[in-house]
Structure 1
């Protein structure tokens, strides 16, 4: 018979995370990886009989040693260490309500503080860099039109990589005003306006690839399967490498898909869009009267976003260093 601890762990992953708090599949997998690593650590350090899960594993001192092991033995960053601790705290909060006899054990885990690390800088591309990047895919080839559609939409929408991967043809409306519907973290749905230029690229791409079914994934590999994160990264890096040969000063040493999300946020700010609308656009809005107003009145959000729609040949307005730093600080904290 399974122990109450094992039953709680199973319920935590199969019901609580996906159904009660609505965490995404990727977040659930990240939490799962934390537990896999914890049990690996417990086996290696003989904290429990091999292959068994016992409450002793969750002793505060063991958890602290586990966190140090992540950094020293597995070369994890402070950020990764804190993410693993966040997963354990989430379970401890859940277990405190379901395993009353162990409430003191889990409360001690909840009392563990996050470790402070050096501040991360936010990577983003200038307007010139994005413009050059989007000129690299050749739209007259099969792969080229797909790459152009992917990179254009990734930047235009400010979507997370997984949100782009999950987009199906039925999530797109190419009639004016064009929009895409995405499901973000916490399964929150948001409707994002896209420019007529990007809508035309998507239209040409779907016509060339004969994408017509509402449940067809928008971006697929040569096997007809949805693109993976590594697939998206490969396409971005491939085109970045070409652009970098022309103007190496525009690109940093490492480019990843999230850079386009950061870049979109920065360019919206440069164009005069208020942070409230940027936060709503990215799917990280807080509960304030103004943001609720923006959400409940799509035309207001559309007005600001369409006025700031990226124009490859356009001129970007100047913005203050203080405004720029405000967004950078917010991005580091929330994205």
Structure 2
């Protein structure tokens, strides 16, 4: 470590502890990161803080990547360096900040988990059991997938939101924004079956009156956690561990796109305020096309 840098690191760590109120764990993490940085600088022959320019910092970032650090870890360390060099300039220890124009590395885009159409069909194939809770659970799965709903939107459904004779649900999404979600086919049939034949059995004379569509065994509104459990349990029946309700929403959007639906229509149904959020499904679709190509082409 360059001798001139050690007291500056110590002062910065003290600043984090005393003035910023950072936790001991955070300060310890910063100390480790900055010690590694200082060791790299010493190996580069750096003696003073004013010897550090953008090229040196970029070289350090590259060394982290070469050592196998994940993108998120590299980004965290670069963020630490930015804070450290801002402190040095602000306190008059350095004339310039070599990290000023340095961008944090972008994490790789994580594509959402999506079920295949055959997996969805297996999940929704249904049971012969006509118990009220079984009929309810099937309706929940059908509505989550058939309408692309978030869990909170599903549990928040009220009877007045079901305009089934016209084939749509009124959804209250994020920010209390209302939208219309079409419902038809198997989803509509399952919901109508539940409302006519299972929900009345779940109503309890002693329970507080509710307009909730989906009820628990005590006659109250179903919770989000209960829906997570219902979906996870259903997933296990077809060999899927930890199936998440949002996976059904992702699958809905992906299958709509594969079926030829316009991206703007999917955006409207999902309730995305920005089309860029919906565009993730074009990446999923491209991945699907490539996989199909590799599977089917004799020389792929």
TM-score (normalizing by structure 1): 0.50
Are 2:85 and 1:124 aligned? no
Distance in 1 between residues matched to 2:191 and 2:155, nearest whole Å: 15
Are 2:211 and 1:216 aligned? yes
How many angstroms does 1:287 deviate by? Answer: 7.8
Aligned to 2:151: 161
Q: How many residues align?
A: 200
Aligned to 2:136: 146
Q: Secondary structure at the match of 1:191?
A: strand
Query: Any unmatched runs of 5+ in structure 2?
Result: 1-15, 34-70, 77-102, 277-281, 290-300
Aligned to 2:182: 193
How many angstroms does 1:268 deviate by? Answer: 0.2
Aligned to 2:222: 227
Distance in 2 between residues matched to 1:135 and 1:128, nearest whole Å: 10
Distance in 1 between residues matched to 2:283 and 2:157, nearest whole Å: 36
Distance in 1 between residues matched to 2:284 and 2:123, nearest whole Å: 26
Show the 5 A alignment for 1:46-85.
57=20, 65=26
1:69-101 deviation digits (Å, cap 9, x = unpaired)? 9xx9xxxx969x99xxxxxxxxxxxxxxxxxxx
Distance in 1 between residues matched to 2:72 and 2:215, nearest whole Å: 35
Q: Secondary structure at the match of 1:202?
A: helix
1:175-202 deviation digits (Å, cap 9, x = unpaired)? 1x31111111121100111004322221
Query: Any unmatched runs of 5+ in structure 1?
Result: 1-44, 48-55, 83-112, 245-250, 289-320, 329-335
- Conserved 8 A contact 1:182-1:189: yes
Q: 2:162 aligns with which of 149, 172, 196?
A: 172
Q: Secondary structure at the match of 1:239?
A: helix
Q: Secondary structure at the match of 1:200?
A: helix
Once the two structures are overlaid, the 10-residue window that deviates more, 210-219 or 131-140, is 210-219
Q: Tell me the C-alpha RMSD between the 2 structures.
A: 4.2
- Conserved 8 A contact 2:228-2:244: yes
How many angstroms does 1:139 deviate by? Answer: 5.3
Distance in 2 between residues matched to 1:254 and 1:261, nearest whole Å: 15
How many angstroms does 1:223 deviate by? Answer: 2.1
1:274-316 deviation digits (Å, cap 9, x = unpaired)? 111111111114389xxxxxxxxxxxxxxxxxxxxxxxxxxxx
Q: 1:271 aligns with which of 259, 262, 274?
A: 259
Q: 2:194 aligns with which of 205, 209, 217?
A: 205
Stretches (4+) displaced over 6 A: 211-214
Cα distance, 1:322–1:239 mapped onto 2, change above 3 Å: closer
Are 2:278 and 1:325 aligned? no
Cα distance, 1:203–1:279 mapped onto 2, change above 3 Å: same
TM-score (normalizing by structure 2): 0.55
Distance in 2 between residues matched to 1:286 and 1:323, nearest whole Å: 18
